[in-house]
């Protein structure tokens, strides 16, 4: 089922990001609180931040709480790893996401116990059926610096170039299609996962217009 689209203005996006920051600080505070008084205040602050995010995103409080709370100490950004695979015709591999019906580079949240390169290889096989070999880091994006819709997670996106080891393509349980596309013939992108600018940068690497890994230097 396609995700409902919601328009957000800049003020709303900034408020969501501030609420996420408050939630993260509240969770850190709970971990390091020395008194019951401090613990109670940080717990209340976290509840307020989650309600704020619920009101601004139209997501249920319970859904946000389950998705954002870690209770494991100091909060850090999540890591989303994407595999960049080109064929001999300079077309890029993309998969169609079941969740919204749009297209993205194979990938997803990093799993504990796997290197980013291993995640890129694993996700490509799981989502596109293709065996690949990770070759080099292309980019580390800060999600807040790009045209992604607002999200409860603060995330870095790691794009890794991979070499295809076969030409097999098949879908996984999170994807409904897979294929290669030229820059001029890209399908509708799944913007929570990748933006047009990010995909364009991958083609720039392919053309050797960029040689060093890309990083976001500012907002």
Kindly report, residue by residue over 140-190, the tens digit of the pLDDT. Answer: 999 999 999 988 889 999 999 999 999 999 999 999 999 999 999 999 999
Q: Is the pLDDT of residue 2 over 50?
A: no
Q: What is the pLDDT of residue 169?
A: 96
Residue 68's pLDDT band (boundaries 50, 70, 90)?
A: confident
- Strands in 155-164's sheet, in edge-to-edge order, are 107-109, 78-85, 155-164, 132-142, 214-215
Q: What is the pLDDT of residue 205?
A: 97
Which tens digits make up the pLDDT trace of 76-127? 899 999 999 999 999 999 999 999 999 999 999 998 889 999 999 999 999 9
Q: What is the pLDDT of residue 74?
A: 75
Which tens digits make up the pLDDT trace of 13-35? 888 889 988 988 898 899 899 99
Q: How far apart are CA 143 and CA 15, in angstroms?
A: 16
pTM of this prediction?
0.78
Q: What is the pLDDT of residue 3?
A: 46
Residue 59's pLDDT band (boundaries 50, 70, 90)?
A: confident
Q: What is the pLDDT of residue 10?
A: 83
Q: How far apart are CA 140 and CA 116, in angstroms?
A: 11
Helix and strand element counts for the chain (H, E): 5, 8
Q: Are the CB atoms for 107 and 193 separated by under 8 Å?
A: yes
Q: How far apart are CA 219 and CA 216, in angstroms?
A: 7
Q: Is the pLDDT of residue 128 over 90?
A: yes
153, 158, 159, 161 alpha-carbon torsion, rounded to 10°? -150
In the block, tokens 């307020």 appear at: 48
- Strands in 175-181's sheet, in edge-to-edge order, are 103-104, 92-97, 175-181
Pull the structure tokens for residue 195: 């933006």
Strand stretches in 55-145, DSSP E: 78-85, 92-97, 103-104, 107-109, 132-142
The residues that bridge with 80 in the sheet, in sequence order, are 109, 157
Q: What is the pLDDT of residue 64?
A: 86
Report the phi/psi class of residue 129: left, alpha or beta, with left for phi > 0 and alpha for psi in -120 to 50: left
Q: What is the pLDDT of residue 67?
A: 75
Q: Residue 195: which of 147, 124, 123, 127 has the closest Cα?
A: 147
Q: Is the pLDDT of residue 4 over 80?
A: no
Which tens digits make up the pLDDT trace of 177-217? 999 999 999 999 999 999 999 999 999 999 999 989 999 98
DSSP letter string over 152-182?
A: SS-EEEEEEEEEES-------TTEEEEEEE-
Rg, C-alpha atoms of the chain: 19
Pull the structure tokens for residue 30: 């709970």
């Amino acid at each position: 089922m396609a995700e409902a689209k919601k328009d957000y203005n800049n003020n709303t996006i900034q408020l969501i990001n501030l609420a996420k920051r408050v939630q993260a600080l509240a969770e850190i505070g709970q971990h390091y609180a020395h008194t019951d008084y401090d613990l109670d205040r940080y717990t209340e602050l976290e509840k307020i931040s989650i309600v704020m995010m619920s009101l601004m995103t139209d997501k249920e409080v319970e859904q946000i709480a389950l998705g954002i709370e870690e209770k494991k100490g100091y909060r850090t950004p999540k890591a989303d790893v994407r595999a960049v695979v080109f064929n001999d015709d300079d077309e890029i591999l993309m998969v169609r996401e079941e969740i919204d019906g749009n297209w993205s580079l194979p990938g997803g949240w990093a799993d504990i116990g796997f290197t980013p390169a291993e995640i890129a290889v694993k996700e490509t096989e799981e989502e596109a059926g293709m065996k690949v070999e990770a070759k080099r880091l292309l980019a580390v994006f800060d999600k807040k610096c790009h045209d992604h819709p607002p999200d409860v997670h603060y995330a870095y996106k790691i794009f890794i170039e991979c070499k295809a080891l076969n030409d097999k393509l098949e879908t996984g349980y999170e994807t409904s299609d897979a294929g290669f596309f030229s820059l001029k013939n890209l399908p509708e992108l799944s913007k929570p996962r990748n933006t047009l600018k990010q995909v364009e940068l991958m083609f720039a690497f392919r053309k050797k217009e960029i040689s060093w890994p890309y990083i976001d230097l500012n907002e």
